[in-house]
Amino acid sequence: MSEHLRRNEIRLHGHPVSYREAGSGPVLLLVHGITSSSGAWSDVVPALAETHTVIAPDLLGHGGSAKPRGDYSLGAYASGLRDLLAALGHERATVVGHSMGGGIAMQLAYQFPERVERLALVSSGGLGHEVGIALRAATLPGAELVLPLITRRWPREALLGGGHLLRHLGLRTRADVRGTAFGLTSLSDPEARNAFVHTARSIMDHSGQRVSALDRLYLAEGMPTLIIWGDRDPMIPLKHGLAAHESIPHSRLEIFPDSGHYPFNEDPERFVAVLRDFLATTEPSHYDEEDIRRRLRDGAMAA
């Protein structure tokens, strides 16, 4: 981790929010996935901070941020990120979202398009129905009672050892094992477990994802969008990224071979190179309310 990467805390609406910040220049907002934290980006932040101000928050319910009893919907997370940017004095940012963070990034662009310059969606949620069985299980009745048992020390050791549990979950890459083990570790805290269950149930049920951005992707035509996916993702299938690429005009798709759900940890050098090229070769989006009205009218007529 770079010595220039600062860990800070700010109070928003009475709750402490932890975030990491590094570099200077145009703002890159990195949004982690469920059960993760800002530390997930540690492999890529130093290089990205050479040319940008990188802000990586711990979402509420995660990491060092507060874990209140409250709203853990994508809309609430998006509003919280808008407020964080405003409180830190930033008007706009390129938003990079991983997994659930991708769904939050799209929600942020939908609710506050004037705040988002570009979107980078990494193994993103919110683009299809399928999702890994381990996440779906958290939505089942009684999950609150089972989670304390499966987040004890021995399942994490078994997972890192690559035993039966690893194969059952479909994890094939080192980064997927590391990310899943970190998630299990984070859920050893009762408040984090409660926040996880509330978050999971706000976006999924036992059959899969139930919050989708697919019917609104036509609004992203004017938003420079990069889609990054691992071709061995066991959590969210590559076909979601392919479909999103087809649905978002002028989007870019980068498939990382032999990578799972964490392509930025599988191949951080390539991830940084791809993201830097995207930033260098696209212009920030220009918010035009009349254009949004036109797209909404045209979309209504097409329906």
E strands, 131-251, are 204-205, 208-209, 225-230
Is 99 among the residues known to form the active site? Answer: yes
Q: Hey, is 88 helix, strand or coil?
A: coil
Token pair of 252, please?
């870019």
DSSP secondary structure string, 15-53?
EEEEEEEE--SSEEEEE--TT--GGGGTTTHHHHTTTSE
Amino acid identity for residue 57 in this structure: P
Question: Which one of 58, 233, 240, 285 is the catalytic residue?
Answer: 233
> How do residues 173-232 score in pLDDT, each as one tens digit?
778 778 877 777 777 788 888 888 888 888 877 777 778 787 888 777 789 999 999 999
CA 256 → CA 18, 70, 157, 183, 263, distances in Å? 30, 37, 28, 23, 7
CA 47 → CA 42, 138, 157, distances in Å? 10, 35, 32
Token pair of 294, please?
């036109």
% the chain with pLDDT above 70: 83
Q: Which residue shows structure tokens 């004095």?
A: 89
* Beta bridge partners of residue 10, listed in sequence order: 17
Could you name the CATH architecture of 6-131+210-302?
Answer: 3-Layer(aba) Sandwich (3.40)
Q: Which residue shows structure tokens 């109070």?
A: 11
Q: pTM score > 0.95 for this model?
A: no
Is 2 among the residues known to form the active site? Answer: no
Question: Which one of 18, 99, 186, 202 is the catalytic residue?
Answer: 99
- Render each residue's pLDDT in the chain as its tens digit; 303 residues: 344 568 899 999 999 999 999 999 999 999 999 989 999 999 999 999 999 999 999 999 999 999 998 899 999 999 999 999 999 999 999 999 999 999 999 999 999 999 999 999 999 998 887 777 666 666 666 556 455 545 555 455 555 555 445 555 566 677 877 887 777 777 778 888 888 888 888 887 777 777 878 788 877 778 999 999 999 998 999 999 999 999 998 999 999 999 999 999 999 999 999 999 999 999 999 887 787 788 788 765 555
Domain ranges of the chain: 6-131+210-302
Using CA atoms, how far apart are residues 186 and 99, in angstroms rounded to an integer?
17
Residues 6+ apart with CB under 8 A from 149: none
Q: Hey, is 122 helix, strand or coil?
A: strand
pLDDT for res 299: 67
Q: Phi, psi (5° rounding) for residue 160?
A: -65, -25
Using CA atoms, how far apart are residues 257 and 76, in angstroms rounded to an integer?
34
* Beta bridge partners of residue 225, listed in sequence order: 119
Using CA atoms, how far apart are residues 86 and 90, in angstroms rounded to an integer?
5
